[in-house]
Chains A and B, each alone.
Chain A
């Protein structure tokens, strides 16, 4: 970008071409007041607050030369009217004056005008104290108003825009930020305007009203108290709040949030700026869905089963009983009779301590962070191994970048990614969305492909073939192990036939391959619909990234969307049967969750420790196995379905009640702070695990340390880390959570150097460009990030430590059972029956379960929307009301996951389930 030189109030400043005058002034440290302008959106020049005097060098029309005065300085021709700084791009030699009498008069005038329609009800307004209108009035406004108060226009106040957001039309200054945000950034154009003049106001145009998963952000960017959330409204005055930095654990984005606390209460949740993660936005689940922390249903004391009832007990007794029972089982049947599950929302420290307890103390290899449900993601290593390079920042990407989204629905699985990817497309990047079903991200896609569910591998093989041809043409073939065998395999593929089987054209595949291969940067994101196919598919995506040379650099590589806020951390920490911490190989792998259930039923696994996960609810088929256990200890915030059958229940602290680190989908490790004390006797998970380990001291039979010795891994050639792994046997003497983090940094390959201290030193890095007086315009947004933006550990491929080989396993086409002609697509929803949505306003947003079928199938089977349908597979059947989705591919049915009343695990037979539909009742 060419640099432009401008002078603002005598201060020379150099900015890139295309910068507007307001932003150029920010660079010069000069404040031009704004209301409608927002740096994240296109300027509209509506509020007229940023009026300034602008002049440009006078050019002699005849010669085209800048005219100079006697001193050789360019003669500046001032524009006849004041100009809005937000809509005026800088030009070479421009002179801007922001403090002349004319400018001051105009700016004061605009503020006086705005206040004529404003109710001035600051004392009862939630925005009071962080209100740009207040701030700008203090700095630029008139001291008093000449407007007759009785002339004010009154509206009913407030009116709901939706059930989450309320609008006070009297306070609204009609800057339109909310409407433009919904149009430009969220891509939910559900807000609009009605009427005109002084009666012009904001309305919701959608049904249900304000139907957007990003609606809360409008209240942040509203420069007055017109938009308030039902969640925070009248809860506190903002100056009483203390912001505590935290991390949202609802999904793998890892949005930086701030918990705004008054004493021990979370009054509201706000975004914290992190350009590499969530910019300045969060989704509504992150904002409104943290009320579970203060739920009255929280456990507050340890519980122990006496005479069939769970009764309160002390920590001493609870830990002693757990230790004794585990020790007994271990003595009688060895560590392998014990198994542990720890959920993917827990912090790295909890997960690390948990696997240490199992591998080092109990000598059990049976660990998992999943519940063993059919169709849940396999343990994905590629997201680390070929993950996006360190330094990746989606915010900086645009032209030259191609993002391939394969089998993922970011809006539902990881909402902020939708905004980030839309931004890349907006800035000129290519966004290729490949899915078996409609998703909202498709609307922003530059290329959109729908494959036929069940033919994913034909699709990827055909894509790999054309991609290989493309890299050969471009002479960019990578030197990577397995290339020759991959070439041989791909040569045997009939691209035409494979494309046809996948329901796409070869042309479309070729376009996708070309765009991806030729791009400067390439990212592949995959999610639930890709995981539904299994590791062969994700390996093919890895093949594509490697073939195209899109690995091992910043802004290149894979991003895997796994359920849970810290699934990547769970994989990294080795809470899995197949690898130890840091992907170190195990000489003896353990049982996966699914295998544990079988072993428990058969009595081979006799005791279990279930922490922060609820198999009895998520996978009801596991109930039998859980009940068959000799001893079950459940550690959770709530008395979950699993806890109800436990022998001991240990109450744990929520993410807001302890410090911890979480690893997001891009391997960024981020730190959350403690915001409130844990209720009752609740303790942080890692503390409890350590308590169990300490209580076990001396009770166990010594075992030769064979099962947990790490032999190789991505980082294995590094001697010091190898040594670190062997230091596993250190004592259980963590005093604070940062001691656990230090142990992780010492012993987990890849996490070297990532400690709470180093995380705190990542500082205020951001793109917002804070400067003096910035708060004036963007107050109330809580964007400031003073607590660090996290550290992204390098992907093994960046350090040439990958074990990845280019290969494709042959496609094994299972014979299709004609009785079950439909492919079942399971859709992960953002608002599902997640028990952590409890006590939040979002509960009413969780839909009732349904089965969606295509229009043609609906016609063919005579099934209308609302009819009750039996969906059956070889495993069983469930009954659901039908919905007809116009855009769904024929031959596939869609059922949302995790809705109460739709126990999908009853019919799922594996990663891919085939089902039959029978209409059982007319609507």
Chain B
């Protein structure tokens, strides 16, 4: 059942909402007007907290609570909008900034007002060149209409908003690496603590929120907590823009209330429209490449934070990758870990060396066809030596594909090395 009212992907219903006038016609910047004229920053923080808005970047941390971590009386503060969307299988941020930029900008202004900051940045993925220009154009329009800059709407509140394009590194989506990159340094994660809310950009209190998180703020402010909570579940209120890809008939971004079963996302004609050639589902990666895998017999799991966690995985970025029975689990693990190896910044040992080693072993197994039985326990050890020991979540994420593959499809690895071993012997005898 499709949403009657979209919150995030409003461009589905209003295709030209990226146009400033169209956005205004549909009540654009009204929430901002209400906020700066009639609400105190604290009231907005309370609203966002009560609405139960949770961070859409992956961790699902309650946004209002995060805002509350800012130390009192320490200024300046910064708001960073994380648009370095690089997680494999995830592409909703791109659609938002390209098709619905004004709602994001409005969300950023209201959020900045709520946390009492006067400078905000949108850090976009380097490859989003055209979309970043759309965003910059929209920001210029907002400035020209008095929604940004000095004395916004006569309220006395000032805010400057900048778009900063990254140079194409996945790690810069990690919040501390993002700040390093924004400061002009090499994009590598910082040690936590201190957490960004205490000492972030330029050592000042900083809030970092995902694009999809911030775009939820104007509807919450405009339509209220109760309205917002009418979507989704008790603990995961609201909607989620899922990015669906893989062997489905209709890949794309679909906004669903939290709690819809995975099966519906894949098979509903409004969404995925079923599997290509009606082949069975073998693997579902529900939250971007960093999420542990589900298998074809787990399709009834509800798509919300709690249900997915209970199923041993996570909602993550909402990038749902659906793979059918034609794929080889070791090969999928290889391709995914190759991504993490390519994107590992190199700062900490287990991620730098572990991803490299994993990929070398998997490459030998899946591409060079001379794996060895010993490789299987070695693979187990490599990810165990990484798990929990890395400096940031990139290394931890790299554990997920190989761990899932080994746990869920051990026989595929065993077959692979047995076949290869036999082939190798044949090769030797025929020589």
Contact of A197 among B345, B357, B374, B385 (CB under 8 A): B345
The reply to whether B356 and A116 form a contact with Cβ atoms under 8 Å apart is yes
Residues of chain A with a CB closer than 8 A to B357's CB: 113, 116, 147, 151
User: Taking the complex as formed, is A173 at the interface, i.e. its CB lies under 8 A from any CB of chain B?
Assistant: yes
Give the docked Cα–Cα distance between A151 and B353 (Å).
11
Given A116-B357, A117-B353: A48 and B390 within 8 A (CB)? Answer: yes
Give the docked Cα–Cα distance between A151 and B365 (Å).
14
The reply to whether A110 and B389 form a contact with Cβ atoms under 8 Å apart is yes
A84 smallest CB distance to B (angstroms): 8
The reply to whether A153 and B378 form a contact with Cβ atoms under 8 Å apart is no
Task: Give the interface segment out of A39-47, A243-251, A262-270, A552-560.
Answer: A39-47
Given A82-B389, A110-B385: A46 and B349 within 8 A (CB)? Answer: yes
Give the docked Cα–Cα distance between A110 and B388 (Å).
12
Contact of B389 among A109, A146, A151, A174 (CB under 8 A): A109
A590 smallest CB distance to B (angstroms): 61
Give the docked Cα–Cα distance between A48 and B347 (Å).
10
- Output the nearest chain B residue to A146 by Cβ-Cβ distance: B378
1/0 per residue, CB under 8 A from B, across A264-305: the answer is 000000000000000000000000000000000000000000
The reply to whether A113 and B350 form a contact with Cβ atoms under 8 Å apart is yes
User: Taking the complex as formed, is A480 at the interface, i.e. its CB lies under 8 A from any CB of chain B?
Assistant: no
Residues of chain B with a CB closer than 8 A to A200's CB: 345-347, 352
Give the docked Cα–Cα distance between A196 and B394 (Å).
13
User: Taking the complex as formed, is A105 at the interface, i.e. its CB lies under 8 A from any CB of chain B?
Assistant: yes
Which of B342, B345, B349 has the most chain A CB atoms closer than 10 A to its own CB?
Answer: B349
- Output the nearest chain B residue to A174 by Cβ-Cβ distance: B346
The reply to whether A45 and B391 form a contact with Cβ atoms under 8 Å apart is yes
Give the docked Cα–Cα distance between A49 and B360 (Å).
23
Give the docked Cα–Cα distance between A198 and B350 (Å).
11
Contact of B360 among A44, A151, A193 (CB under 8 A): A151
The reply to whether B349 and A110 form a contact with Cβ atoms under 8 Å apart is yes
User: Taking the complex as formed, is B300 at the interface, i.e. its CB lies under 8 A from any CB of chain A?
Assistant: no
Residues of chain A with a CB closer than 8 A to B386's CB: 109
Residues of chain A with a CB closer than 8 A to B384's CB: 105, 109
Q: Give A101-137 interface residues, CB cut-off 8 Å to B.
A: 105-106, 109-110, 112-114, 116-117
Residues of chain A with a CB closer than 8 A to B104's CB: none
Q: Give B154-185 interface residues, CB cut-off 8 Å to A.
A: 169, 171
The reply to whether B342 and A197 form a contact with Cβ atoms under 8 Å apart is yes
**Secondary structure at chain A's binding surface: helix, strand, loop or mixed?**
loop
Give the docked Cα–Cα distance between A110 and B353 (Å).
9
Residues of chain A with a CB closer than 8 A to B349's CB: 46-49, 110, 113-114, 173-174
Give the docked Cα–Cα distance between A82 and B350 (Å).
13
The reply to whether B389 and A48 form a contact with Cβ atoms under 8 Å apart is yes
B297 smallest CB distance to A (angstroms): 29
The reply to whether B360 and A82 form a contact with Cβ atoms under 8 Å apart is no
1/0 per residue, CB under 8 A from A, across B345-368: the answer is 111111011111100110010000
The reply to whether A110 and B352 form a contact with Cβ atoms under 8 Å apart is no
Given A51-B389, A116-B357: A198 and B348 within 8 A (CB)? Answer: no
User: Taking the complex as formed, is B310 at the interface, i.e. its CB lies under 8 A from any CB of chain A?
Assistant: no
A392 smallest CB distance to B (angstroms): 34
The reply to whether A197 and B350 form a contact with Cβ atoms under 8 Å apart is no
Q: Give A702-733 interface residues, CB cut-off 8 Å to B.
A: none
The reply to whether A112 and B191 form a contact with Cβ atoms under 8 Å apart is no
B403 smallest CB distance to A (angstroms): 15
Q: Give A183-205 interface residues, CB cut-off 8 Å to B.
A: 192-193, 195-200
- Output the nearest chain B residue to A47 by Cβ-Cβ distance: B349
- Output the nearest chain A residue to B356 by Cβ-Cβ distance: A198
Give the docked Cα–Cα distance between A153 and B356 (Å).
10
Residues of chain A with a CB closer than 8 A to B388's CB: 80-82, 106
Give the docked Cα–Cα distance between A355 and B165 (Å).
73
Residues of chain A with a CB closer than 8 A to B356's CB: 116-117, 151, 153, 197-198
The reply to whether A197 and B389 form a contact with Cβ atoms under 8 Å apart is no
Residues of chain B with a CB closer than 8 A to A148's CB: 360-361, 364
User: Taking the complex as formed, is A805 at the interface, i.e. its CB lies under 8 A from any CB of chain B?
Assistant: no
Give the docked Cα–Cα distance between A315 and B28 (Å).
101
User: Taking the complex as formed, is B94 at the interface, i.e. its CB lies under 8 A from any CB of chain A?
Assistant: no
- Output the nearest chain B residue to A151 by Cβ-Cβ distance: B360
- Output the nearest chain B residue to A49 by Cβ-Cβ distance: B349
Residues of chain B touching chain A, judged by Cβ–Cβ distance below 8 Å, are 169, 171, 186, 191, 341-350, 352-357, 360-361, 364, 374, 378, 381, 384-386, 388-391
A sample of 8 more A-B contacts (CB under 8 A), given A109-B385, A196-B346, is: A109-B386, A109-B389, A113-B349, A114-B349, A151-B356, A174-B349, A196-B345, A200-B347
A-B contact pairs, 19 of them (CB 8 A): A43-B191, A46-B348, A48-B391, A81-B389, A82-B388, A82-B389, A106-B385, A109-B389, A110-B350, A113-B353, A113-B385, A116-B353, A117-B356, A146-B381, A147-B357, A151-B356, A174-B349, A196-B169, A200-B345
The 5 closest A-B pairs by CB, nearest first: A109-B385, A200-B346, A113-B353, A151-B360, A81-B388
